[in-house]
Chains A and B, each alone.
Chain A
């Protein structure tokens, strides 16, 4: 089955602590992986994508094909990182595109 799993609904960390938001996927082809973020009272927006291999707002994510994971990491959490984070994948199969989102993880960074 094709799916994206985010095992944690809520993750609370203290400011300055490392953060890791977990994402595992199941997909038969070669998907593209994304992390989207939704800050309070703002719309859903892209945070980063695996093919870019860049760091955005201090966050990085490495695609591990062996473990089918795409965990989001930040070495030192900031209060402004508090938001809802969604892992997503897109893939093409037989000429149609699949877009699958995880259920999301709410990150709370405590002062």
Chain B
């Protein structure tokens, strides 16, 4: 599959579980992003990586931990989440920060 892919597409987890979301881009981009999309709220930028270095962390709780091993892969590690963390988590990439973003299909997360 070309473009930006995300796995899993759906995830249900308990508050004590540890899980990870994966994002992969095949576009040769240097910047990658995690967004949270909740009902009735705008898209919220969580993390920005540029050339594997984190350049932005929008006051995200520490129960969300990003990892960017290379410019093609991005992970979001989840632990001890709360029910209010249930949302659609979108990954995106762009040639460089500030340019147009290409989005993945998202992971629908439900925290019980």
- A contact set with B: CB distance below 8 Å: 4, 32, 34, 43-46, 49, 86, 88, 90-92, 95-104
B97 contacts partner chain A, Cβ-Cβ < 8 Å: yes
- B33: nearest residue on chain A (CB-CB)? A99
Q: How far is the CB of A24 from chain B (nearest CB, A)?
A: 14
B45 contacts partner chain A, Cβ-Cβ < 8 Å: yes
Q: A32 touching B98 by the CB < 8 A rule? A: yes
B106 contacts partner chain A, Cβ-Cβ < 8 Å: yes
- B contact set with A: CB distance below 8 Å: 33, 41-43, 45, 48, 55-56, 90, 97-106
Q: How far is the CB of B44 from chain A (nearest CB, A)?
A: 8
Q: A102 touching B100 by the CB < 8 A rule? A: no
What separation, in Å, do the CA atoms of A49 and B94 have in the docked complex?
A: 14
Q: B104 touching A97 by the CB < 8 A rule? A: no
Residue in A32, A49, A86, A96 with the greatest tally of chain B CB atoms within 10 Å: A96
Q: How far is the CB of B29 from chain A (nearest CB, A)?
A: 13
Q: B33 touching A46 by the CB < 8 A rule? A: no
Q: B43 touching A86 by the CB < 8 A rule? A: yes
Q: B100 touching A34 by the CB < 8 A rule? A: yes
Q: B41 touching A97 by the CB < 8 A rule? A: no
Q: B42 touching A102 by the CB < 8 A rule? A: yes
